[in-house]
Structure 1
Amino acid sequence: MTDHKQMKRRGVLLGGAAIAGALWTAPAAASAAADPDVLFRDGRFAEADRGYAHRLRADPYDPHALAQRGYIALLHNRFADVQRFLGPIAGSDPLARRRLAESYVRQDRYDQAVPLMDGPLSRVYSNLGPHPWQVLGARRTRVPFLGLDPLPHVPVSLNGGPPRTMLIDTYATLTLSTPEAERLGLQVLATAEGVLGNHPVTISFGILGSLRLGDIELRNLPVQWVDTDLPTLPDGTPPTGVLGTTVLYHLLSTLDYTGGALLLRRKDEPAPYTTNPLPLWLAGDHFPCTLGTLGGYGPRIVTLDSGGIAHGLDTTAEIAERAGIKVDYAHPQQVNGVDVYPIRPDRMALGRVGARNIPGNAVAAVWPGLPGPGQSAMFGFDAMANFTHEYLKRFKVTFDYAAMRVSVS
C-alpha cells in the first residue's frame, strides 16, 4: 500500500475508505438469524429487507426499520424506495438525511441534494449548475492502457488540453494532483482536513470543466486535489490524477485488463455480460461491493478496490485463518505504524472466476481510524475482504451501475 492509498481510505465523501477486513460474523443461532439487524450486518440484504418490512407491517412508523430499508435501497440504487423510506425520517435522523442526499447525488440531482447537506461538498455541488456530469460524444469508446502497473493508466484530456496520464482506481473519486489543478486554474470552492500517512493534509474541492476519454467527453464535474505525491509511473514521472468510481459510475465501464484498455459505453448501451454476472452494491459514494470467496469460505461480501498496488487481497488475520490461509506472522510489514502480514490464498474468486497464489495482506488488529475486526462503522455491514489489483489484473471487469451488476470474465 502507498500513502496515497491511505489518504483515499479516510472518509466516505473525502475519497476514503477502509481496509476491507471487517470481521465476518459467525453463523448465528436460529433465533438471532431472524433479527434483520444481524442479517444486514452479515450482508444478507434481501433477507434483512424482508425482516424490516415485517416490522413495518406491525409499526409503519418504526424509524429504525425505515432507515434500514432506505439504506438497503440505496445500496441497490433503488432511488424511489430510498426516498419513500428515508423521506419521512430525514428531518429527525441525520444519517438518513445524508443517505437521502446521496441518493440525489447519484442521480445528478444536486439541486435536491444540497438542501439536505452540510460540509464542503454542499458548496461544490451548489455551484455545478443545471447540467452536471454531461456525457457527450460517441456511444462507446476504447481507451488503451498506457501501462498496467503500478495501476492501469490512460491518456485523458482535461479542459480541452493535451493528453495527460491518469491512474484508474475504483476506490477513489475524481482526484487531480495539486500542480495539475493549479495549471488548470481551478478555483478552490471548499476545503476539508484529512489524514495522509498519519499526517494532516488539506483537501481542496472544485469543478472541472471537461474530461475527455477517447471519443467520450464528460463536462461539469466535481473534483478534488491534495498536495501529496501520487504513485509514480514506470518512467518515473507522476500521473496527473486518478479516475475513480465517481467517473466510472456515469458510464458502463469495463476495465479490460487482458485486452489492455478501458472500454466505455453510454449507460443505455447493452451490457457486455459474460456467463459470470454478480450482484453489485455501492456503499458511500464510491465503494463497489460484490460477493467473493476465499478458498471454500464464502461467498461473502467483498469490496472491489482496483487501486491496491502490488497485492491482490486485503483481509484480517482471523478471516484468513478461517479460510485456511496461512498467515506469515514471521515477516510483518509496517503500514502507517500498523503490522500487516503476508498471505497467499490457494484460491480466491469472484463467482466462477478464480486465481491462485495471489499476494495479499492480513491485518491483525483494528486499523487506526478505519473499520477493522468486529467493526462495521464505515458501511454498517461487514466485508470479508478487499479484492484488488493483482487479482483483478487477470480479468475483464464490467461495472454496470444501472442494472447493479458486476461482470468478471
Structure 2
Amino acid sequence: MAAEDMVPEDVAAAGTDDNNWTRRSLLRGAAALTGAAAASSLLGGTASALAGGGDADALFRAGEFEKAGRAYEEVLRKDPRNVHAARRRGRIGLLANRFADAEKYLGTALRLAPDDKDAHYLLGDCYLRQDKLPLAAPHWQAAGEKAYAQWFAAVRGEPYQVRGDIARLPIRQMDPMPLVEVSVNGGPTKHFTFYTGASNLSMRASVAKETGLKPVASQRVEFEGGFMWAHYGILDSFELGGIELRNVPVGWSSTESGEDTDTDSDGMIGTWVFSHLLTTFDYAGRQLVLRRRTPEAAGRVHAASVRAGAEPLPLWLADQFLHTRGTVTGASGSGTGVVGVNFGGSGGESAAVVFADTAEKLGVRTDHGRPLGTFAHSHPAVTYPCYPREIRIGDAAARDIYCESHPQAALAPYGFDVRAAFFHCFHKPYALTLDLTAMHLYIAATAP
C-alpha cells in the first residue's frame, strides 16, 4: 500500500507491507513523481509560516478544523494582510470541498502574495476538484507544475462526463491487489486495480499504445538511478460496467525505450475518478458499487446506511488522500483524532500504519527487533510490526491486529496530525461508502 502522487515521502512510506508495491505504484501512475517536489515545498512552507496563527495553528494541527477556521477568520479581522491565515483558512475550505470558501481565502492569499506557490498549488487543486481545468492550469503553472498545467489546458469541454446511473463491478481478485474488469475506449476487457492513494486514472504504456492515446504533455523523470517517462493524455471513454466516463484525464509511464514499467495489472483507478461518483467499496460483498452522484442517490445511500447502523462520519480530502476520525488504543491509553483511510492498493497483512511516536506514547506493543525495509519515493524507509489493542473508525474495529509503526514519519505532513492510516486489510469485513459532496464516510457490514 503505497501513498503516491504529490505527497511527501514520510506519508508515502506508509506502504510498508510490500516493498515492490511502493516502487511499482510510483512508476505506474504517470503523475506519481510529478508533484512530489512541489508538495514537499508546499507542506514545508506551510509548516514553517506559523507567525501570527497562535491558537488557530494549534487547533488546525489537532484536526479541529471548524474551530480553526473561525480562529483564522478572527486573525484576518485583526490582521487582514496575514497570508498564512488566509492560506490556512483556504485549505480548511478545500479539505471539506467547500469551494467558495477555498476560492475566497486562497484568492486573498494570492492578492497579498501573488507569487505564493503554496496558495497557487491549493487553488489549482480547488479548481481541479470542480472540473474547472482551464482555471486550474495557470495555478499549476505558477506552482511549478508545468506538465500538469499543459495536461489540464489540453482538455476540451467537460471532463469526467458520467453516463449511466449505477454499476456493480465484481472484485475478481482481492489480493495481492484488487482487480475489476473495465473497458478502455470500447475495447476488450482489461483488468484494472484501484487505489485512493493514487490521484488520476492511469494505465500501462502498452494499453495506452493499443488504445491509440497520444500524450499532450510528457516529462522525463529520474527514478532509482535511472529514468522513466511520465505521459499525460485524454481518454475518450472509460467503462466500468453500467457506468461510462467520457473525456477523462489519464496518465501512463514507460521506460526510456517505451516499454511498460509494470505488468501487475492493466491500469489503476485513482481518487479523481471516484470523486465524480458515489462510490461504495464493498469489501464484504467483493464488489465496487458506483452510482451517479445525485442528491437522490445520496439520500437513498444515507437512509440505507443509517438503517444498517452506519452513522455518517466526517470526511476530509487532502490532495487525493482521504481522512476521517479514528482511534488507536494501546496499553497506556487511546489516541483519537484524524486518521487516513485508503481503499484498494496492495493487500498485504498490515491493517494500519501508526505514525511517528504514537505507538510509543500509547503503549502499543512494537517489535523493534524486526525492522521492515521499504521505499518511499525511491528513498529507503524502515517500519516495525506492532499490535494495537484496538484500532477503530466509527463502529468498525479490529483488536490485536497486525499493524506497522513508522517512527520516522512526520506526524503532521499536511499541517495537521495524522496518527495512523487504515488500509485494505482493515476494511475487508465492511462496505465503505464515500459521499464527496456531503463529505461523509459510511461504514457498514453490507453495502447500501
Structure 2 residue 31 is the aligned partner of structure 1 residue 14: yes
Task: Name the structure 2 match of 1:364.
Answer: 407
**Secondary structure of residue in 2 paired with 1:270:** helix
- Whether the aligned pair in 1 keeps the contact of 2:30 and 2:230 (CA below 8 Å) is no
- Whether the aligned pair in 1 keeps the contact of 2:30 and 2:231 (CA below 8 Å) is no
CA distance in 2, matches of 1:95, 1:33: 17
Point out where structure 1 has 5 or more consecutive residues left out of the alignment: 23-31, 233-237, 366-371
Counterpart pick for 1:270 among 270, 279, 298 = 298
Q: What's the TM-score, normalizing by structure 2?
A: 0.79
- Whether the aligned pair in 1 keeps the contact of 2:355 and 2:411 (CA below 8 Å) is no
Structure 2 residue 324 is the aligned partner of structure 1 residue 293: no
Task: Name the structure 1 match of 2:77.
Answer: 57
Q: What's the TM-score, normalizing by structure 1?
A: 0.86
**Secondary structure of residue in 2 paired with 1:223:** strand
Q: Structure 1 stretches (4+) deviating beyond 6 angstroms?
A: none
Structure 1 residues 194, 385: closer, same or farther in 2, change over 3 A?
farther
Structure 2 residue 358 is the aligned partner of structure 1 residue 319: yes
Counterpart pick for 1:156 among 164, 176, 182 = 182
Task: Name the structure 2 match of 1:81.
Answer: 101
CA distance in 2, matches of 1:373, 1:92: 27
Cα offset, 1:198, TM superposition: 7.1
Q: Which amino acid aligns with 2:149?
A: S
Structure 1 residues 82, 403: closer, same or farther in 2, change over 3 A?
same
Task: Name the structure 2 match of 1:135.
Answer: 162
- Whether the aligned pair in 1 keeps the contact of 2:21 and 2:346 (CA below 8 Å) is no
Task: Name the structure 1 match of 2:193.
Answer: 167
Structure 2 residue 39 is the aligned partner of structure 1 residue 39: no
CA distance in 1, matches of 2:219, 2:365: 41
Task: Name the structure 2 match of 1:102.
Answer: 125
Structure 2 residue 253 is the aligned partner of structure 1 residue 253: no
Deviation track 1:283-334 (CA, whole Å, cap 9, x = no partner) reads 01x1111111112523211111222431221123621122332111111121
Task: Name the structure 1 match of 2:3.
Answer: none
Q: Which amino acid aligns with 2:340?
A: T
| Larger mean Cα displacement after TM superposition, 313-322 or 258-267 | 313-322
**Secondary structure of residue in 1 paired with 2:206:** helix
**Secondary structure of residue in 1 paired with 2:174:** coil
Task: Name the structure 1 match of 2:153.
Answer: 126
Cα offset, 1:65, TM superposition: 1.4
Q: Which amino acid aligns with 2:440?
A: R
Structure 1 residues 300, 374: closer, same or farther in 2, change over 3 A?
closer
CA distance in 2, matches of 1:193, 1:97: 24
CA distance in 2, matches of 1:146, 1:248: 19
Point out where structure 2 has 5 or more consecutive residues left out of the alignment: 1-17, 44-51, 255-259
- Whether the aligned pair in 2 keeps the contact of 1:317 and 1:362 (CA below 8 Å) is yes
CA distance in 2, matches of 1:104, 1:50: 23
Q: Which has the higher contact order (CA 8 A, sep 6+)?
A: 1
Structure 1 residues 200, 102: closer, same or farther in 2, change over 3 A?
same
Deviation track 1:102-146 (CA, whole Å, cap 9, x = no partner) reads 111101011211222211011111111012110012x11211111
Task: Name the structure 2 match of 1:280.
Answer: 315
Structure 2 residue 86 is the aligned partner of structure 1 residue 66: yes
Cα offset, 1:67, TM superposition: 1.1
Task: Name the structure 1 match of 2:209.
Answer: 182
- Whether the aligned pair in 1 keeps the contact of 2:19 and 2:373 (CA below 8 Å) is no
CA distance in 1, matches of 2:293, 2:249: 20
- Whether the aligned pair in 2 keeps the contact of 1:6 and 1:196 (CA below 8 Å) is no
Cα offset, 1:33, TM superposition: 11
- Whether the aligned pair in 2 keeps the contact of 1:317 and 1:327 (CA below 8 Å) is no
**Secondary structure of residue in 2 paired with 1:225:** strand
Query: Percent identical across equivalent pairs?
Result: 34
Structure 1 residues 75, 214: closer, same or farther in 2, change over 3 A?
same
- Whether the aligned pair in 2 keeps the contact of 1:308 and 1:388 (CA below 8 Å) is no
Q: Which amino acid aligns with 1:93?
A: D
Deviation track 1:51-76 (CA, whole Å, cap 9, x = no partner) reads 11111221233222111111100111
CA distance in 1, matches of 2:404, 2:194: 21
Task: Name the structure 2 match of 1:343.
Answer: 386
Deviation track 1:166-189 (CA, whole Å, cap 9, x = no partner) reads 111111121211221122121122
Structure 1 residues 70, 292: closer, same or farther in 2, change over 3 A?
same
- Whether the aligned pair in 1 keeps the contact of 2:434 and 2:442 (CA below 8 Å) is yes
Deviation track 1:153-204 (CA, whole Å, cap 9, x = no partner) reads 1100000011111111111121211221122121122233556567653322
Task: Name the structure 2 match of 1:392.
Answer: 427
Cα offset, 1:96, TM superposition: 1.0
Structure 2 residue 347 is the aligned partner of structure 1 residue 309: yes
**Secondary structure of residue in 1 paired with 2:357:** helix
Aligned length: 380
- The structure in which a higher percent of residues are helix is 2
Deviation track 1:6-51 (CA, whole Å, cap 9, x = no partner) reads 56579x9934789xxx9xxxxxxxxx99611122122221121111
Task: Name the structure 2 match of 1:408.
Answer: 443
Cα offset, 1:253, TM superposition: 0.3
